[in-house]
């Protein structure tokens, strides 16, 4: 109960809040070209090492894809980027992940601030059992926005940004669970956009969807590129080739190859990467 370390972390967070103008959320500085910089990251689940010395820079306002066979660590790495791995018991991260000039694994990192700026879309669409409107308003409301005018504005803007405005403007009061799977997933993207994140992480967002919905989500990703940085984990190599600017290939917890998508798919430097892409295994 009397955890002094926690107290210290709390104090330094307070200080940051004051420096950042008091709202405690805009502690990140995204003016540089690199959105995320991963340095020598090792990750362990208990005794099992799931990530081995990963280092990569993810550029701003581009789409970065992570590919590789199941269990290669790509989803694990994605989850470390907004610290969703904290939920997993026995998970330990070593190394440094810098986002917007801050080490996100530092003791005084505020998870709310981090996750507000680094949103996430999951494999299975997970809209809340609320109306479409309330789903989008959910995060803004928890961040203190109450005025109706402002909320309405956010909903309209997010839905337009997610290219769903025409489909949904007449059914804002309907349950989000009544939408189709593809619509649910795009709603989740709209929901993540509502708090204006800088980065959106997508964990195999189309693996539960049909080809048409998948196409819509890919289009959406491309149109969002000017506003947000997207990191997408995908099982589908064609998808990575279609939308990603840069692609990273993972195998058994190691990052085997990372470069411009064209180069990775047309002239992979590593033999293992080539084998995977040409379909010799995986």
Partner 1 sequence: MIKVNKTKVQDTSAKYLFILCACLSVVAVFGIIGYILYGSIPAFREVGVFEFLFGDVWAMPTDTYGILPMILSTLVVTVMAVILGGVVGVFTAIFMVYWCPDKFHLRYKGKVKFLAKCVEWINKINLRTIFDQVIKLLAGIPSVIYGYFGMQIIVHNLATVDPDYRGYGALSTCIVLAIMIIPTVTSLTKNALEAVPEQYYEGSLAMGNTKAQSVFNVLVPAARSGIISALILGIGRAVGETMAVQMVSGGTANFPTGLFVPIRTLTTNIVAEMGEVQIGSLHESALIATGLVLLVIVLIINLSINLVPKEFKGKRGKKVLKGDKEAVIRFEKKGLIPEILKYFAMVCAALVVFALAAVILFILINGIPHLSAAFLFGTEPPSLVPAFITTGYMILFTLIIALPLGIGAAIYFVEYAKPGSKFVKVLRTFTDTLAGVPSIVFGLFGYLFFRPMFGHYSVLAGAFTMVLVVLPTIIRSTEESLIAVPMTWREASYGLGAGKVRTIFRVVLPSAFPGIATASVLAIGRIVSESAALVYTAGMVLVGTSTVAGAVNPVNPGSTLTVFMYSFFAEGLGFEEAYATAVVLLAITFLLNLIVFFIEKSVKKKR
Binding site for partner 1 (CB under 8 A): 17, 22-25, 82, 84, 87, 110-116, 119-120, 122, 124, 126-131, 133, 138-145, 147-150, 152-157, 169-170, 172-175, 177-178, 188, 191-192, 195-196
b (16+ CB within 10 A) / e for 77-100: bbbbbbbbbeeeeebebebebbbb
CB of 27 to partner 1, least distance (A): 11
Of the pair 186, 272, the CB lying nearest partner 1 is at 186
CA distances from 217 to 17, 121, 159, 221, 234 (A): 36, 12, 13, 6, 13
CB of 10 to partner 1, least distance (A): 13
Of the pair 94, 128, the CB lying nearest partner 1 is at 128
Rg from Cα positions in the chain: 19
CB of 49 to partner 1, least distance (A): 24
* CA 159/CA 187 separation, integer angstroms: 8
* CA 236/CA 239 separation, integer angstroms: 5
DSSP H or E stretch at residue 66 = strand 63-67
CA atoms within 13 A on the CB side of 227: 18
CB of 121 to partner 1, least distance (A): 8
CB of 269 to partner 1, least distance (A): 34
Give the orientation angle of helix 132-142 with respect to helix 148-161, to 10 degrees.
120
Residue 142: strand, helix, or coil: helix
Q: Which two tokens stand for residue 26?
A: 């805009």
CB of 161 to partner 1, least distance (A): 14
b (16+ CB within 10 A) / e for 25-51: bebbebeeeebbbbeebebeeeeebbb
DSSP H or E stretch at residue 112 = helix 111-117
Of the pair 87, 267, the CB lying nearest partner 1 is at 87
Residues for the chain: how many in total?
Answer: 282
Of the pair 14, 40, the CB lying nearest partner 1 is at 14
CB of 156 to partner 1, least distance (A): 5
């Amino acid at each position: 109960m009397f955890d002094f370390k926690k107290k210290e972390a709390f104090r330094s967070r307070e200080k940051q809040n004051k420096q950042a103008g008091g709202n405690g959320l805009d502690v990140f500085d995204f003016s540089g070209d690199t959105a995320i910089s991963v340095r020598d990251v090792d990750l362990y689940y208990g005794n099992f090492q799931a990530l081995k010395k990963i280092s990569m820079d993810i550029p701003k306002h581009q789409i970065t894809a992570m590919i590789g066979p199941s269990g290669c660590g790509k989803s694990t790495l994605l989850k470390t980027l907004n610290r969703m791995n904290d939920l997993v018991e026995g998970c330990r991260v070593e190394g440094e992940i810098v986002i917007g000039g801050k080490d996100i694994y530092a003791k005084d990192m505020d998870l709310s601030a981090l996750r507000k700026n680094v949103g996430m879309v999951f494999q299975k669409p997970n809209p809340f059992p609320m109306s479409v409107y309330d789903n989008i308003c959910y995060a803004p409301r928890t961040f203190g926005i109450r005025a109706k005018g402002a909320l309405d504005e956010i909903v309209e803007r997010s839905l337009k940004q997610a290219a769903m405005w025409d489909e949904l403007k007449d059914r804002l009061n309907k349950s989000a669970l009544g939408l189709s799977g593809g619509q649910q997933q795009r709603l989740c993207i709209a929901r993540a956009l509502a708090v204006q994140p800088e980065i959106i992480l997508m964990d195999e967002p189309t693996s539960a969807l049909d080809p048409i919905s998948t196409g819509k989500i890919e289009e959406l990703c491309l149109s969002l590129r000017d506003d947000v940085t997207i990191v997408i984990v995908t099982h589908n190599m064609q998808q990575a080739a279609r939308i990603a600017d840069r692609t990273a290939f993972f195998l058994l917890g190691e990052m085997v190859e990372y470069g411009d998508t064209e180069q990775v798919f047309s002239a992979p430097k590593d033999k293992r990467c080539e084998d995977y892409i040409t379909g010799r295994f995986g």
